[in-house]
Amino acid sequence: MLAIACPGQGSQTPGFLAPWLELPGVRDHLEQLSDRAGTDLVRHGTTSDEETIKDTAVAQPLIVAAGLVTARLLLTGHTMTAATVVAGHSVGELTASGIAGALTEDDAVAFVRVRANAMAGAAAATPTGMSAVLGGDPEEVAARLADLGLTAANANGGGQVVAAGTLEQLAGLAENPPSKARVIALKVAGAFHTAHMAPAVTALEELRPTLTPADPTATLMSNYDGKPIATGQGNLDSLIAQVSRPVRWDLCMGSMQAMGVTGMVELSPAGTLTGLARRGMRGTATLAVKSPEDLDAARSFIEEHSRTTDPVTAPISEGPQ
């Protein structure tokens, strides 16, 4: 059984889209997405520097667009059914929604435009940030974050948790980390997937009437609880709410294993999620589509892991609570 994984913010690197633009049709596709995103994705994917593409308002549309471009090249001719699992990490849920048919490409990019700008605005309102906590006893890590008032914003599996909160709270974590754990400050602009992002939820609710969600044709996973989402409206509800609640990628990986996923292919800018899968989904084959040179191998990989057509039934996500 095949899983298609769509990476989130932080996976982008300067110039990563340059080799893709050499392929027929890619520049036109990216320019169309740029018009909808309200930013020059061709420039940001080729010549913009690291500081520019780290900006939330640039990074999120760039990552979603890259995934959509890669998917069109890779998945043409592949029929999306419940036997294909599609999952995205954080903003990658929008890429996944576009691939699975739950949102049109235009709606996915319109959503990420508002999401990115609103999250950047919320981050600017209060000095906040995020730090990775690697290792340590899970209960001790959770207790330490709770003591400091921090949120476990990303549970990525494999002993990796991302803590989010005010800079003062994060400084306290760095000064007194849980035993046998390393704390690494992340280069992000704010405490994403926490209550600090509430203004972004409001902005997305205002966008809602302009969108036309549809029921996904593939098995579309939710970052909320790691379960499939059955309806387009339920997916839209979840996408809006997810901006201010933790990403449970660990639960997504657990569900994919339980459903019988044998292979995960990660769309560009790839590498992060296949790396997590090697630790959190042991025994599952992985392939990261990092450049056009990976396309032929990826097509063969998709064909091989699409031969299993009857996924194990998984509980349906209840969505926002």
Catalytic center residues? 90, 193
Three-state SS annotation for the chain: CEEEEECCCCCCCCCCCHHHHHCCCHHHHHHHHHHHHCCCHHHHHHCCCHHHHHCHHHHHHHHHHHHHHHHHHHHCCCCCCCCEEEEECCCHHHHHHHHCCCCCHHHHHHHHHHHHHHHHHHHHHCCEEEEEEEECCHHHHHHHHHHHCCEEEEEEECCEEEEEEEHHHHHHHHHCCCCCEEEEECCCCCCCCCHHHHHHHHHHHHHHHHCCCCCCCCEEECCCCCCECCCHHHHHHHHHHHHHCCEEHHHHHHHHHHHCCCEEEECCCCCHHHHHHHHHCCCCEEEECCCHHHHHHHHHHHHHHCCCCCCCCCCCCCCCC
Residue with tokens 């000095």: 127
